[in-house]
A and B are shown apart, each in its own frame.
Chain A
Amino acid sequence: DQQVKQNSPSLSVQEGRISILNCDYTNSMFDYFLWYKKYPAEGPTFLISISSIKDKNEDGRFTVFLNKSAKHLSLHIVPSQPGDSAVYFCAAKVRTETSGSRLTFGEGTQLTVNP
C-alpha cells in the first residue's frame, strides 16, 4: 500500500526554466508534508515543508503547494539550476505526540537540469 506516490520517475528541464515535481497521497490523516533532496552516495537532506493548514510555502527558489482536496502536492523550483539535479523525495507524516519525525516517502523523482 503506497500511501505517498510520485508518478514521474524522472524529469528533465532546461537551466533557468521552472521544474515542477508532483506527489499524491492517499492517507487523509497526513498533516505535514516535506520534500527531501538526495545526491548520489549521500543521505536525503531536508528541503522544504508545509503544514496541512497552509496551501503554499515558499523558500527562495523553492515553493511547495498543497491541494488537500485533491491530496496532491507539488514542488516548484524556479529558476532551475544544474546543481538542482538530484533525486527529490516527497514525504508525509501524521504529527502525534509519539510519531516524532516518522515519515512515509514516495518513490522519488530524478530531476536533471540541463545547462
Chain B
Amino acid sequence: DAGVIQSPRHEVTEMGQEVTLRCKPISGHDYLFWYRQTMMRGLELLIYFNNNVPIDDSGMPEDRFSAKMPNASFSTLKIQPSEPRDSAVYFCASGPRRDTEAFFGQGTRLTVV
C-alpha cells in the first residue's frame, strides 16, 4: 500500500483565493482525519470522518473551512476565501476502526500571501 497520499505537496496562493487540498486514505481504513500544524498551536485536529460521515468538525476554525468525503477513497479540505493566517502544513491521516494509531500523509504546505 502506498500509504496516505496528499496533493499538492506545496501550495502558494494569494489572499482571497480558494484553496483545495486533497487526500487519498489507506484502503480499508474507516477513519479519516484532517490536521493542521502551526508553530503556535502544534498539531491540531480540524475534522474527522467515520465511514465518509463527518463526526466531529469542532476543530474547523471558521466557516471559510469545509471538508468533504464523497467516497471511501477521497477527501478534500477547502478554504474559501484563504487568508495569510491559514498558512500552515495540513496533514491528512487515516486509521482502521479498532487500531489505535493513525497513519499520516506527507502533508501539504500552504502559503497564503
Question: What CA separation (Å) do A41 and B103 show in the bound complex?
Answer: 15
**B33–A43 contact, CB under 8 A?**
no
Question: What CA separation (Å) do A37 and B18 show in the bound complex?
Answer: 32
Interface size class of B (residues with CB under 8 A): 20 to 34
Question: What CA separation (Å) do A107 and B107 show in the bound complex?
Answer: 17
Is A76 an interface position by the 8 A CB rule?
no
**A101–B99 contact, CB under 8 A?**
yes
Is A25 an interface position by the 8 A CB rule?
no
CB distance from A22 to the nearest CB of B (A): 15
Q: Give how many A residues have a beta carbon under 8 Å from the other chain's beta carbons.
A: 23
Query: B96-113 vs A: 1/0 string, CB under 8 Å?
Result: 110111111111000000
Is A100 an interface position by the 8 A CB rule?
yes
Question: What CA separation (Å) do A42 and B6 show in the bound complex?
Answer: 11
Q: Which of B44-52, B60-68, B72-80 contacts A (4 or more CB under 8 A)?
A: B44-52
CB distance from B75 to the nearest CB of A (A): 14
The 7 A-B residue pairs with the shortest CB-CB distance in the complex, in nearest-first order:
A101-B95, A43-B104, A100-B31, A105-B43, A101-B102, A46-B101, A107-B42
